[in-house]
Amino acid sequence: MKQLVVQDLGRMSYGEALTIQDEANRKRFDEQIPDTLFFVEHPPVITLGRATPEADILISAEERERMGVEVHRITRGGLATYHGPGQLVGYPIVHLYERAVHIKRFITTLEEMFVTMLGERYNVDAHVDPANRGVWVGAQKITAVGIAIRNRVTMHGFAFNVTTDLSHFDWIVPCGIRDRGVTSLEQCTGQRISLDEARRETEGFFRQTFGYQS
């Protein structure tokens, strides 16, 4: 079975985590490291995909400065996404080798992994939507997915709302979708579930789904 290294970065700024991703991407392409999954929790930050219009940020620069909210435009697909406390962010650094064949399958499999985990572990009826990326509970997104490829190696990844303050999504048009909402594991279950537990479950399902040794 394939090897996977998992590293929990704790709470870390988006810029610091991006630097770590960049270095790991290069090392993975050069076969210096195996596939790697970084887990991280970010302070409040808004990320913009390559094609995101500035109008999808709904709070002013003055408000962002007052609240200490950073904005980063990055290389992934997708549109505006919020990251913040109570959200489990995962960055898989995975060598796909044949990008054209595997990238769409990788993203779809990642989404389906969350659907399975949410159903089996938390009795949450989640689904994927062919028209909109991510994982949904009804018309509300619980996990955002945005992957970029460089040197046939994945970067960026997923953002799983565990105990996230959902009011912070009012700062943006989430993923460019104006007629749907967001939810969290806490809201769906009525229980306060720790990030540590969510991380353990996510790691286990990631290993099982993508065929890594335990």
Higher per-residue confidence, 64 vs 176: 64
User: What's the pLDDT tens digit per position in 25-43?
Assistant: 999 999 999 999 999 999 9
Orientation of helix 195-210 relative to helix 99-122, angle to 10°:
130
Decide: 106 and 186 in contact? Cβ < 8 Å.
Answer: no
Q: Which amino acid is at 99?
A: R
Based on the number of CB atoms within 10 Å of its own CB, is 9 exposed (0-12), middle (13-18) or buried (19 or more)?
middle
Question: 4-210: which CATH topology?
Answer: BirA Bifunctional Protein; domain 2 (3.30.930)
Is residue 201 classed as helix, strand or coil in its secondary structure?
Answer: helix
Q: What is the CA radius of gyration of the chain?
A: 16
User: What's the pLDDT tens digit per position in 152-204?
Assistant: 999 999 999 999 999 998 888 876 556 678 999 999 999 999 999 999 999 99
Distance CA 106, CA 64 (A): 34
In this structure, the chain runs to a length of 214
**What are the catalytic residues?**
175
User: What's the pLDDT tens digit per position in 131-152?
Assistant: 888 999 999 999 999 888 888 9
User: What's the pLDDT tens digit per position in 70-96?
Assistant: 888 877 766 788 999 999 999 999 999
Stated pTM of the model: 0.91
- Of 110, 111, 106, 88, residue with least CA distance to 41: 88
